[in-house]
């Protein structure tokens, strides 16, 4: 039994597993839909801005605490008055450049009041690697501006940032990780380390290299960080967590969770139009669950047909053809009777694929208008399209096809339907979806809803389908819907 599956075969997904699955789904999806790139990059920036907002007060408070600690230590060491301060020592006075790096190895000029040298030592000790970025900071302001202290814990490049607000997430995360005063307050400093690592990776991600999987990884690690009790005690962090959860739902298209719950709570039979849209959303989620199955099965179908056709026509093992168009291969359908197919392809390759598709179709009637025969050897989806009806010519893959389209592929393609243990679940699901599509009223009864959820669940639990990440995600949605219906 696979992990996460109980005796009944129902997939029981824990929260962490859930986010992993979501990430996996989106990674898979991304490989088919590069246009998501731009959107992903934008969402990543939003995520970082939100996280920055959430950690800022924690960072500021801890740096201020360290600043006060350093001042107190310096004054006690030197027997200075509590109100004493110094604003005349420069960073150059206190540190020197050695081998291109600014360090404390000198002899430095001593602060007349000895306060700045002592503070410098406290800051150095508070740095996890004992390597503050002296070049970032203006020592004259160490007593007055906490940001000048914070910058010691950031990597070089933050010199011109004058407020905590100006500093980006990466800068803040460096303070959290490098400054012991802050770091030691965390329940698990590794989370902050990972967040820092992610943020430096994210700096180099553009629309081209960013995937939705990256986004989910980032959201996951940033949420964990914000949920550390030491950070979450700040109201801004609580705000950020809520906003990030919204961004995640938006990115993953899971807003309907909320909608579904809302309208189910309103559920008195008959339910009103929001319930109808939730019903449609349920079908949408179910079809999302079929995407990988149909995409993968189409690839398999393509491999099988090509191998078989080469054997049948006694062609070379790499023989192919992209010259014959659909119009060349398929004569117009006569008013009466069947289409009379005639050989056209010089090698017989395309003719054999055509025959194979006719044979594969449950009623021997492929829908040729959907397909471009020139792409039969390069794009498996062009083969899958003949098992749908009118209207799917421009679809480039399962993710842009609705439930009805995908379920028709599964039902009409013999090779795919034999992958199901119980082919009836497919026709039942099609029936449920069809009933809803053709319903003349905007009302859904709880029973109708329940029937749909049950039928889609049975379909998605089919062994061949359930192993795909998108099916696991859809099953999770069905599980939620089902629980809500029980309430």
Task: Write out the residues near Zn ion by the rule CB under 5 A.
Answer: 86, 89, 111, 116, 321, 324, 345, 350
Q: Which is nearer to Zn ion, 72 or 187 (CB)?
A: 72
Q: Which is nearer to Zn ion, 116 or 398 (CB)?
A: 116
DSSP labels for 11-44? B---HHHHHHHHHHHHHHHHHH-TTHHHHHHHHH
> Cβ 300 to Zn ion, closest distance in Å?
22
> Cβ 343 to Zn ion, closest distance in Å?
10
> Cβ 370 to Zn ion, closest distance in Å?
19
Residue with tokens 């109201």: 235
Backbone angles phi, psi at 101, to 5 degrees: -115, 140
> Cβ 297 to Zn ion, closest distance in Å?
24
Paired strand residues for 127: 179
Q: Are strands 96-98 and 101-103 parallel, antiparallel or unpaired?
A: antiparallel
Q: Which is nearer to Zn ion, 40 or 143 (CB)?
A: 143
Q: Which is nearer to Zn ion, 345 or 420 (CB)?
A: 345
DSSP labels for 344-366? -STTSHHHHHHHHHHHHBTTS--
Q: Which is nearer to Zn ion, 116 or 455 (CB)?
A: 116
d(CA 241, CA 264): 26
Sequence-distant (≥ 6) Cβ neighbours of residue 409 within 8 angstroms: 294, 298, 384, 387, 388, 416
d(CA 206, CA 364): 48
- Of 413, 418, 425, nearest to 471 by C-alpha is 425
d(CA 149, CA 134): 10
d(CA 430, CA 286): 11
Residue with tokens 């430095």: 108
For residues 464 and 293, the answer to whether their CB atoms sit within 8 Å is yes
> Cβ 321 to Zn ion, closest distance in Å?
3
Q: Which is nearer to Zn ion, 74 or 251 (CB)?
A: 74
For residues 330 and 354, the answer to whether their CB atoms sit within 8 Å is yes
The Cβ of residue 351 has, within 10 Å, a number of other Cβ atoms equal to 21
> Cβ 328 to Zn ion, closest distance in Å?
8
> Cβ 85 to Zn ion, closest distance in Å?
9
Q: Which is nearer to Zn ion, 172 or 385 (CB)?
A: 385
Q: Which is nearer to Zn ion, 60 or 118 (CB)?
A: 118
Residue with tokens 């309430």: 487
Q: Which is nearer to Zn ion, 306 or 345 (CB)?
A: 345
Q: Which is nearer to Zn ion, 374 or 461 (CB)?
A: 374
Sequence-distant (≥ 6) Cβ neighbours of residue 217 within 8 angstroms: 23, 198
Tell me which DSSP letter residue 152 carries. G
Q: Which is nearer to Zn ion, 89 or 263 (CB)?
A: 89
> CA angle, 394 as apex, 393 and 399 as ends, to 5°?
110
485 in helix, strand or coil? Answer: helix
> Cβ 134 to Zn ion, closest distance in Å?
15
Q: Which is nearer to Zn ion, 148 or 214 (CB)?
A: 148
Long-range contacts of 199-208 (CB under 8 A, 24+ apart): 199/48, 199/169, 199/170, 199/173, 200/170, 202/44, 202/48, 203/170, 205/41, 205/44, 206/41, 207/37, 207/38, 207/40, 207/41, 208/37
> Cβ 420 to Zn ion, closest distance in Å?
33
> Cβ 435 to Zn ion, closest distance in Å?
42
> Cβ 315 to Zn ion, closest distance in Å?
11
d(CA 451, CA 168): 50
Helix (H) or strand (E) holding 102, with range, is strand 101-103
């Amino acid at each position: 039994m696979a992990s996460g599956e109980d005796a009944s075969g129902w997939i029981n997904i824990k929260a962490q597993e859930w986010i992993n699955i979501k990430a996996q789904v989106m990674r898979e999806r991304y490989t088919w839909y590069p246009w998501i790139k731009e959107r992903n990059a934008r969402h990543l920036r939003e995520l970082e801005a939100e996280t920055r907002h959430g950690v800022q007060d924690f960072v500021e408070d801890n740096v201020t605490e360290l600043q006060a600690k350093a001042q107190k230590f310096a004054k006690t060491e030197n027997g200075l008055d509590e109100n004493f301060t110094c604003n005349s020592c420069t960073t150059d006075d206190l540190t020197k450049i050695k081998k291109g790096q600014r360090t404390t190895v000198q002899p430095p000029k001593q602060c007349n009041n000895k306060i700045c040298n002592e503070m410098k030592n406290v800051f150095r000790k508070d740095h996890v690697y004992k390597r503050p970025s002296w070049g970032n900071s203006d020592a004259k302001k160490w007593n007055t501006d906490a940001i000048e202290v914070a910058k010691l814990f950031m990597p070089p490049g933050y010199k011109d940032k004058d407020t905590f607000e100006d500093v980006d997430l990466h800068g803040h995360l460096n303070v959290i990780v490098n400054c012991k005063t802050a770091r030691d307050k965390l329940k698990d400093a590794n989370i902050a380390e990972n967040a820092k690592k992610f943020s430096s990776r994210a700096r180099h991600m553009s629309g081209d290299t960013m995937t939705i999987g990256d986004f989910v990884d980032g959201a996951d690690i940033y949420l964990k960080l914000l949920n550390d009790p030491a950070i979450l005690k700040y109201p801004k962090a609580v705000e950020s967590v809520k906003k990030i959860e919204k961004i995640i739902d938006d990115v993953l298209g899971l807003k309907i969770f909320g909608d579904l719950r809302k309208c189910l709570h309103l559920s008195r039979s008959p339910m009103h139009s929001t319930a109808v849209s939730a019903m449609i959303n349920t079908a949408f989620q179910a079809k999302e669950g079929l995407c990988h199955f149909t995409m993968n099965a189409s690839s398999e179908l393509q491999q099988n047909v090509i191998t078989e056709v080469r054997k049948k026509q006694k062609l070379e093992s790499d023989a192919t053809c992209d010259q014959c168009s659909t119009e060349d291969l398929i004569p117009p359908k006569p008013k009466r009777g069947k289409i009379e197919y005639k050989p056209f392809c010089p090698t017989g390759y395309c003719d054999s694929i055509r025959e194979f598709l006719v044979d594969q179709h449950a009623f021997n009637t492929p829908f040729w208008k959907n397909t471009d025969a020139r792409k039969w050897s390069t794009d498996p989806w062009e083969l899958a399209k003949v098992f749908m009806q009118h209207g799917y010519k421009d679809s480039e893959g399962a993710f842009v096809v609705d439930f009805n389209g995908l379920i028709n592929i599964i039902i009409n393609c013999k090779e795919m339907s034999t992958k199901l243990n119980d082919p009836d679940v497919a026709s039942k699901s099609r029936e449920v979806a069809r009933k809803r599509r053709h319903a003349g009223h905007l009302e859904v009864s709880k029973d109708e809803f329940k029937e749909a959820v049950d039928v889609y669940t049975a379909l998605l639990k089919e062994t061949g389908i359930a192993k795909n990440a998108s099916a696991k995600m859809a099953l999770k949605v069905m599980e939620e819907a089902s629980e809500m219906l029980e309430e």
